[in-house]
Amino acid sequence: MSIGAEQVVYVVDDDQGMLDSTVWLLESVGLKALPFTSGRAFLDACDDSLNACVLLDVRMPGMGGLNVQEEMRNRGLDLPVIFVSGHADVPIVVRAFKAGAHDFIEKPYNEQLLLDSVQQALSSMDERRSGTNGHSQLQERLASLTPRERDVLVPLVQGYTNREIAEQLDISVKTVDLYRARVMKRMQAERLPDLVAMAIVAGLVDPLKLR
């Protein structure tokens, strides 16, 4: 894959208005966006030899995003997938990450957050193809946590509330809030789903045992 290869984003969403605005946003920063209103049409056209990633809506008539992701895996289409959904309930998020999703973004999404996630996905594709390992950065962030911060991290990503964590560790809820904020900052996680994904990738938690 040449360095100057064009970067492509497959956008799969049955909402035509959302599809059009997402394509416009991506093209405004110089990316090539290929729109599809159904999972099947995308799968038929998908070419994983491209320097590409996939923006995939979770809820679509016929074939939903998680089914599309599963079919990609069955066909050996190895492209980073970013899910977008107006209904980011925890079981869906966990299932998506467990199946290898790169990110999960709630609608209506922050434009900069989406663009950052797309760029990270495309970079991870470059790293994968050039044989570099993105896991080392994650391990460095984990190593920067204090033992107490790690104590808070694990139940947090397992789905326990701040109050439940406070009871488990015999500390106040306010202290848990403080540790939680520090964990998010040290791990460079903007949202809880980001933290959950990192913990799964690092092998700290078993996706099947999340609440």
149: exposed, middle or buried (Cβ count in 10 Å: 0-12, 13-18, 19+) = middle
CA distance 209 to 193: 15
Place of tokens 């080392």: 136
Q: What is the pLDDT of residue 4?
A: 44
Q: What is the pLDDT of residue 51?
A: 87
Mean pLDDT of 121-140: 69
**pLDDT for residue 193 is more than 60:** yes
CA distance 117 to 111: 10
Q: What is the pLDDT of residue 162?
A: 93
Q: What is the pLDDT of residue 2?
A: 37
pTM score: 0.62
Q: What are the backbone dihedrals phi and psi of residue 15, each rounded to the nearest 5 degrees, phi first? A: -85, 105
Tell me how far the alpha carbon of residue 71 is from its chain's centroid.
18
Would you state the structure tokens that stand for residue 27, as one six-digit string?
A: 């093209």
- Which residue segments constitute the domains of the chain, with CATH numbers given? 7-130 (3.40.50.2300), 135-203 (1.10.10.10)
Q: What is the pLDDT of residue 23?
A: 96
